[in-house]
Amino acid sequence: MPRMIRSYFGLILLTLLMALLLPSVAQEQPVPVTPVASFQGQAEVAVDAQAVVGRVLGNVLYYQFQNSNFYVTVQNYEAAFDQFDSEGADDFIVPAGGWSIGGLYVSGGFSTTGFTPTTTVDVTFYIDDNSLPGAAVCTFNNVLPVSYQAADLIIKLPTVCDLTPGHYWVSVFPRLDFNPNGQWAWEWNLTQANNPSVWRNPGDGFNSGCTNWEYLQICQTDWGPDLSFVLYAPLLPPTATPTDTPTATPTATPTATPTHTPVDTATTTLIPTETPIPAIEILANGSFEDDTDSDTIPDLWTQKLPTSDKRKCNKPGKVIAYAGECVYEFKSAPGENSQLRQEIDLTLLLPVEVNAGDVLTLNGYANASGVVNSKVSVRVIYTTQEKFKIKIGLNATSDYTAFVSQPLTLIADAQSIRVILKNLGTSGKIRFDALSLGLNNQVEPIALPR
C-alpha cells in the first residue's frame, strides 16, 4: 500500500523480517512509513545532460539529473487511497530570451509492477511565489508518455509551454492505481540547485503534516534536497521550403502590328527542401560533471596509463572549468602516454544501428600549457570490420579554445565508436571541458539517459 520512500537500501531485509513475523497477514491498509518492497529504478550510472538529448524532443534546456537511488512517492492513486495522493515539484530559472518547453525526462522508481501502457501523467508549470510554487502557467493533464524507460518517464507535451525569463516550478503527477500496480516515486537529486524541491500530501495519509507545498526536508529531515529531471525544447520537424521556378510571361502587343503566338505560361512549382534533422549528443558526461564514486575518474570514462591525471572541479575563488563545475586534467611529464576513453553505448539509441550515411562531429574546449602534444580522436569500427579514425591535434593556449573535427560520414553501419583523449606532453597541463559528439542520423534515433 502507499508509503513514503527514502531509499531502497535495507528494504529487502525489512521485507524478510515482516514475512517472518506476519506470514499470514495481507497488507490491506496503507502503511505510511514501513517499507514492504524495494523500489527499482534506473540506477546503473550517472547521467550527463548531453547524453540525454532526445530525438523525440529537442535540445536540453535545463538539466538536473542524478541516479541517487533515493525516492519520494509521487502519485495520483485510485479513490480508495485518495488520502495518499502526493505531488512533488522542483524549480528552475528561465534566462533572458525565455524558453519554449516541449517535454521532459523524469527519473523514478517502482515498488512493484509499475506503469501500464495506458498510464498518463499530469504536468504543471508554476510561477514562483515567495520560493514556493504559485499560480499555474501551463497545465497538461492525462499526457501519455512517449516512452517508459525502466521507471523513468519520457514526456512529450501536447503543446509547448512558453515561459518568459523568471523563476518557475514543474510538477509531474502520474495517475496509477495502487492495486495492482504499486507505487511510483520520483528520484532525488542529492545536489541542490536553486530552492529545495517541494512535496505535498493534501489528505495527509502519510502523517507528514505537509498538506500544502513544503520543502522535502521539512516534510522529512533526511529527504531530498532536490528531484531529478531534464527539460527539453520542442523538436522542430523538417519543413518544406518553396523554391520558385522562373516563368516566361507573354507580352501583349497592339493589334495593328503582327503579334507573336502566345506561349503557355509556366506555373510556379514548389519544390520541398528538407531541413536537416538536428544532431543529437551521443557522448555521455562530456563535461565531466559526474563522478558518483568520487575516485576522480569521470563516470562512463576509463583511464589508460594515467599518471597524475584526474577530474578536477572549481573551488571557492578558483574557477578552472569552461562550463559547469568540473574538467578533466592531464599533467604532462617526460614519458607521458596517458589516455581517457569512452566507448559509446550504441544500444542506448533507438533504433540500435548508427547507419551508413550518418555524420559524426566532435567538438569541445581545451586549455593547454607547456610543451603540448595532445590529440582528441574518434575511432569507428564498422560492421564490415573496417576501421576509421578522425583526429584533432591541439596546441598551447592562453585560455580555453574551441576545437572541432571535420564531419565524418560513415561508410557503413557502425559496430562501435570510441572517443579518445591522448596526452604525450612533456611539461605543463591540459584541461578538457564541454566535449560533444554529435550524430546526424536520418533514421532519427532516440538518445536515452545512461
pLDDT in tens, 330-353: 999 999 999 999 998 776 654 445
Q: Looking at the domain assignment, is residue 415 inside a domain?
A: yes
Angle at 203 between CA 200 and CA 208, to 5 degrees: 55
Asked whether residue 222 falls in the same domain as residue 302, the answer is no
Asked whether residue 414 falls in the same domain as residue 284, the answer is yes
**Averaged over 36-65, what is the pLDDT?**
50
Asked whether residue 81 falls in the same domain as residue 192, the answer is yes
* pLDDT for position 405: 78
C-alpha dist (Å) from residue 112 to 1, 67, 72, 109, 196: 10, 19, 15, 9, 28
Asked whether residue 213 falls in the same domain as residue 322, the answer is no
301 pLDDT higher than 90: yes
Confidence of residue 221 (pLDDT cuts 50, 70, 90): low
Dump pLDDT digits (tens) for 97-156.
999 999 988 888 777 666 666 688 999 999 999 999 999 999 999 998 876 556 778 888
Asked whether residue 221 falls in the same domain as residue 285, the answer is no
- Tell me the pLDDT of the chain averaged across its residues: 76
Asked whether residue 215 falls in the same domain as residue 284, the answer is no
Q: Looking at the domain assignment, is residue 408 inside a domain?
A: yes
356: domain CATH number? 2.60.120.260
Asked whether residue 224 falls in the same domain as residue 306, the answer is no
Asked whether residue 215 falls in the same domain as residue 336, the answer is no
Q: Looking at the domain assignment, is residue 324 inside a domain?
A: yes
Q: Looking at the domain assignment, is residue 4 inside a domain?
A: no
Asked whether residue 433 falls in the same domain as residue 303, the answer is yes
Q: Looking at the domain assignment, is residue 384 inside a domain?
A: yes
* pLDDT for position 402: 86
Asked whether residue 87 falls in the same domain as residue 226, the answer is yes
Confidence of residue 11 (pLDDT cuts 50, 70, 90): very low
Q: Looking at the domain assignment, is residue 427 inside a domain?
A: yes
Report the distance separating Cα 194 and Cα 231, nearest Å: 15
Report the distance separating Cα 178 and Cα 164, nearest Å: 38
Asked whether residue 179 falls in the same domain as residue 328, the answer is no
**Averaged over 3-11, what is the pLDDT?**
46
Q: Looking at the domain assignment, is residue 25 inside a domain?
A: no
Q: Looking at the domain assignment, is residue 421 inside a domain?
A: yes
User: 3-state SS string over the chain?
Assistant: CCCCCCECCCHHHHHHHHHHHCCCCCCCCCCCCCCCCCCEECCCCCCCHHHHCCCCCCCEEEEECCCCCEEEECEECCHHHHHHCEEEEEEEEECCCCEEEEEEEECEEECCCCCCCCCEEEEEEEEECCCCEEEEEEEEEEECCCEEECCEEEEEEEEEEEECCEEEEEEEEEECCHHHHCCEEEEEECCCCCCCCEEECCCCCCCCCCCCCEEHHHHCCCCCCEECEEEECCCCCCCCCCCCCCCCCCCCCCCCCCCCCCCCCCCCCCCCCCCCCCCEECCCCCCCCCCCCCCCCCCCCEEECCCCCEEEECECCECCCCCCCEEEEEECCCCCCEEEEEEECHHHEECCCECCCCEEEEEEEEEECCCCCEEEEEEEEECCCCEEEEEEEECCCCCCEEEECCCEECCCCEEEEEEEEEECCCCCEEEEEEEEEEEECCCCCEECCC
Asked whether residue 188 falls in the same domain as residue 52, the answer is yes
Dump pLDDT digits (tens) for 269-291.
333 334 444 567 788 889 999 99
Q: Which domain covers residue 419, as residue numbers? A: 280-447
Model pTM? 0.50
Which of 200, 232, 264 corresponds to the end of one domain? 232
Phi-psi region of 99 (alpha: psi -120 to 50; beta: other; left: phi over 0): beta
Q: Check residues 200 and 11 and name the one with the higher pLDDT.
A: 200
Q: Give how many domains the chain has, as a whole number.
A: 2
